[in-house]
Structures are given as C-alpha cells and as structure tokens.
Chain A
Amino acid sequence: MKTPVSKYALFEYLSGRANLLEKQLIEDWITANENTETFYEWLLEYEARCPQFVPDEDAAVKSLFQRIDSDDYIQTNRHRTITGGGHSSLFLKRINRSWLVAASVTLLLGCCWLLRESLLYKSYQTSFGQITNVYLEDGSKVALNSNSKLKVPRFGFDQDVREVMLEGEAEFSVSHTIDNKRFIVKTSDQFKVEVLGTTFSVFARPRGTKVALTCGSIRLDYSQNDQHKEMIMEPGDMATLGRAGEVQLQKQQDTKTLVSWKEQRYVFNSTAVKDIVSMIEENFGQKVRLEDPEITSRTITGNFKTKNADELLRTVSEVLNIRMEQDGPTIILTNK
C-alpha cells in the first residue's frame, strides 16, 4: 500500500469535503487495482452509516419477488429458459426499434395521404366577387369566376392527358397541341368534359352543372345509372346535367351570355328571380331571402354591368319594384 488512505479521509472525500490535494491522493488510491475492493467495502460502510433515506425494504423485496415470479411465468409460457432471457430481451428491444421505424413510416405516409391534395395539385381559388385568369403551362387559358376552385396536377400535367378539376364556374380556352393531347375537365367522378382545342365554359356548382361550347368541339363523358355515356357537342350547344345524371342538350343557344361574367356583365333572358338570387349567393356570398313566393317566379330580361351584389340587387329591385332590406348579413326582398 503506497499511500495509506484512512477510512476517515475517504468518508470526507465522499461527502465532498476533501480539498484538492486530498482528493488527488484518494483518487490515486482508488485507481490502484488492489484497493478497489477496499474502496467498495468502505463505500458500503459509509452508506450504512449516513443513509440518505431509509427505503421500505420489505415492500421492495416483495415487489422484486413478484416481478421474478411473473417473469418466470412469462419465460416458461414462451418455452424459453431463464438464461436465454438476456438474448430474448435484446431481441425484443430490436423489435421495438423496428416497430418504431414502422410507426414513423406509417405516420409519414399518413401525413402524405392527408396532404396528398395539396402535394399533387396546384389549386387556384377565387373568393366572392373575384375573377381570375389562370394560364396553364400548356398555353391554355382558364377564366375562373368567383367562388370557384380549379385544381391542376403538379406532376405529369403535360403527359398523356391534360386533366384539371373544377368546382364552380370557368371558361376554358384550350390550346391545341401538335400531338393531339386530350384536355379533360372533371367536375365530379361522374362528369367529364373532354376537348381537343376549343373554347367552352363549364358551370359546376351544387345547384347544377352546365357546359356551353363557343367554338371547336367537345365530348361529354358522364355516367347515368352506372352506365357510361358520351355526347358530342357542337358550337352553340349548351348541355345541362340533371339531378338523376341525365344530360339535356339545348341547340343554338347564345353561349356568350353564359360567360358574360367575364366582363362583370350579367345577362338575363327571362331569368327567374330565384336563379338570380342563387347566382348572387354563389358569386358574391351574399345571402338573399325572398319573403313573397310570388317574387320567386317573376322573371327579368336585361343586361347589367356591376361589380358587387348590392348594386345588382338594387337594380333588380328597382326593375321589379320591390323593397330591399338589410337584416344582418342577409338581404330580404319583399313586395312593396
């Protein structure tokens, strides 16, 4: 024993009261292999003499044996020996880690699935009273009416088929490609408009779906009673999708009136007031209530140019000679 360290000195050291020199001396002593056992003996004595707290030994021994029993039970049930336990638990840890990886991947995929709309499609959305022109990368132009949404795929738009999705109202001027690439407007899973280069407008709102063709030629793909149907449209045609999925074709319509919204002009040709009111709700988000059922069936013919719902409604009320009242966010129309 090179430097005899007293037990007292070690206790001082363990209590953090040794000065730097003592500390060095004691640490040298501990590092020497032959003293290790003594160090632990004294450490045990130190802890027994100045315990930091007195744990409940009986409860602890009980829970330890409970744990051992349940562990034995698990081990025998799995036909594993206790000595194999070390490996099996390491194995379990590895499994846990691969579960962790699997869970993270699932979570990531889940997020991608939830965000797939915004990842896969670029959306153009117009608010109430706003009209926007969207130029697609193939040179086609889309005039998007108020409160409408156009979704264009981010990837592969220029391959094979050009497909866009529409909710609301828009006029498409599709440019023709050399390789005759198809252009498809989907309004729902059941209704598609397919083109090769033309100008047409699509109206797809909760109250109905309409397609008007200005020039060129388009084909409507739709399903009625689970049957796939097609219809070729010619310039001047207007097609309306009914509730049951049937399509009605009206020939020789003034298709220009259907896209008059582009110039913020509203063309009414014996249009029922209830349709005008729906249009105002769709395009401007302005709620309108008709007090008298009689007003609903009245019609208007005319050409109005306006930028907001208020102005349009004022003009309409003047023409029909009815009263217009504001009630919170709603406008009420009543007979005078």
Chain B
Amino acid sequence: MHDPLPNHEIKRTNPFVTPLHEGKVDAREIDSALFLKTTFEQNPEKGLELLFRRFYNPLCSHAVRFVYSKQIAEDLVSEVFFQFYRTKAYENINSSYTSYLFRSVRNECYTYMRREFGKTDTLEITGEEHFLYTYYQQPDAEIHYNHLFLKVNEVIAKLPVQCQKVFLLSRFENKKYHEIADELHISPKTVEVHISKALKQLRSALKGEWMLSFGLTVLSAIEI
C-alpha cells in the first residue's frame, strides 16, 4: 500500500480503525458500538452527534469516489444521517453501524448517480423508498457499487490532462466556470467544452450500470 498518510496517528484518534486481520470484530469495536447504542437509547441527539463525528469524514471520503464533488458528497452523507435520525432507524438496527451507514451512503450515491448520469426512470424510486430498502438488497449489490466507483475513477483518470483538470476544479472543488477560466488562462467557453466532454464520457461509460441495479431494486422490493 502506497499510503501517503501517516497511519498511526489516524488509528489513535479513531478507535474504530482497528487491525482486523482475521475478520473478527475487535473487542473495542463492540464496546463502542454498545456505548453508542446505550447513548441512542438515553439521548438520541447525543448518539447522533457521536455517530456523526465518528463516521462523517470517512463516509464523505467514500461518497466522493462516486460523485466526484465534495459538496454533493457531504450533502448525501448528511442526508443519510438526517434520515437515520428522522425515521428512528437507530432503534431497530440489526447490523453494525459501520455497515449500515456505508450501505446507506452507497445507496444514496448510486441513486444520485443514476439520476445524474442515467437519465432514466427518475420518478420510479424516490430517495425515501430507497433508504428503506437498505437492508434487503442482494448480495452482489456490494460488488456492483464497487464496480461503479471504480469505473468512475477509471473514466476520470483516462480523461485528457487539461480536461481532467478542468473537470476536477469544477466538480470536485465546486469552482465557477469563470474562476477556472482565470486560473488556467483559458476562455470560459473552453471550460464549458471540457466539462461537457467529461460528462459525456462518464455518461456513456456508465450506461450499462443502471439496468442491472434497477433489477436489484425491484427484487428487493418484492422481498419486502
């Protein structure tokens, strides 16, 4: 692993990050989960804040791999926490918080991506319904979501240098067209061309990703 970041420090600040070489759940993990559970029972708001502070950053980091926009990633993750609290999902959670939250975020990202890049059946599934299905998804949904963000990553990596630069500034950094134009000394028109090119590439590369998952969602709906 070519990690640019110092691992040890992160480990110390985040008790959830523990070495799980054999796939066993660490004792400390169980403790903190138990602690969160009791906090949610006594004071849901406090529980939510604890959960948020523990998971917000890694979840955003994961979400951004799908949507390639800091702003959208943060919005989607916040939405998951908001729904988690509002629907009182914490009351009947039967898996770990980690898998629940990651699943929900990945679902949200996927729904967002399909709406943004799939341009089909946007009315079919609302975020709400999707959220409820979190626990009834097919096993290969995991794989499918992995493929989705790896594909996005691949497409963006393959873009021509300048096009990639413009795309990241616009989407990831959320900069305005004229700001990018000033920064790179190009015309706003060129910025626009680069961005529409990148979006077009994404759209055509992700074309095959939506039909399969629509099938998945339907299956999970039947299961309920």
Contact = CB atoms under 8 A, between A and B. Distances in A.
Contacts of A82: 86, 88
B140 A65 contact: no
B3 interface: yes
B64 A53 contact: yes
Given A31-B142, A31-B143, A41-B98, A51 B5 contact: yes
B61 A47 contact: yes
A43 B62 contact: yes
Nearest to B70: A53
A37 interface: yes
Interface stretch (A56-64, A173-181, A225-233): A56-64
B223 to A, nearest CB: 15
Interface string A27-51: 1001101011111111111011111
B61 A51 contact: yes
A155 B168 CA distance: 60
B1 A47 contact: no
A64 B78 contact: yes
B57 A61 contact: no
Q: How large is the interface on A (under 10, 10 to 19, 20 to 34, 35 or more residues)?
A: 35 or more
A33 B60 CA distance: 25
B contact patch SS? helix
Contact of B150 (A16, A30, A40, A57): A16
B86 A49 contact: no
Interface in A280-311: none
Given A37-B25, A38-B20, A60-B74, A48 B14 contact: yes
B61 A11 contact: no
Nearest to B13: A48
Nearest to B143: A27
B4 interface: yes
A55 interface: yes
Interface string B39-69: 0000001001100110111111110110000
B72 to A, nearest CB: 12
A90 B128 contact: yes
Interface in B75-98: 78, 81-82, 85-88, 95-96, 98
A71 interface: yes
B99 A36 contact: yes
Nearest to A97: B123
A47 B140 contact: no
A52 interface: yes
A49 B5 contact: yes
Given A37-B25, A45-B17, A55 B70 contact: yes
B153 interface: yes
A228 to B, nearest CB: 56
Interface string B169-208: 0001000000000000000000000000000000000000
A52 B56 contact: no
A40 B85 contact: no
A48 B17 contact: yes
B85 A53 contact: no
Contacts of A13: 146
B87 A49 contact: no
Nearest to B172: A53
Given A61-B56, A64-B82, A44 B25 contact: no
B93 to A, nearest CB: 13
A1 to B, nearest CB: 6
B215 interface: no
Contacts of B117: none
Interface string B7-46: 1001000101111111101000100000000000000010
CB-based closest 3 A-B pairs: A47-B58, A40-B99, A38-B23
18 contacts: A1-B22, A6-B21, A27-B146, A30-B146, A39-B99, A47-B57, A47-B62, A48-B10, A50-B3, A52-B61, A53-B172, A55-B70, A55-B74, A64-B81, A65-B49, A71-B82, A86-B132, A93-B128
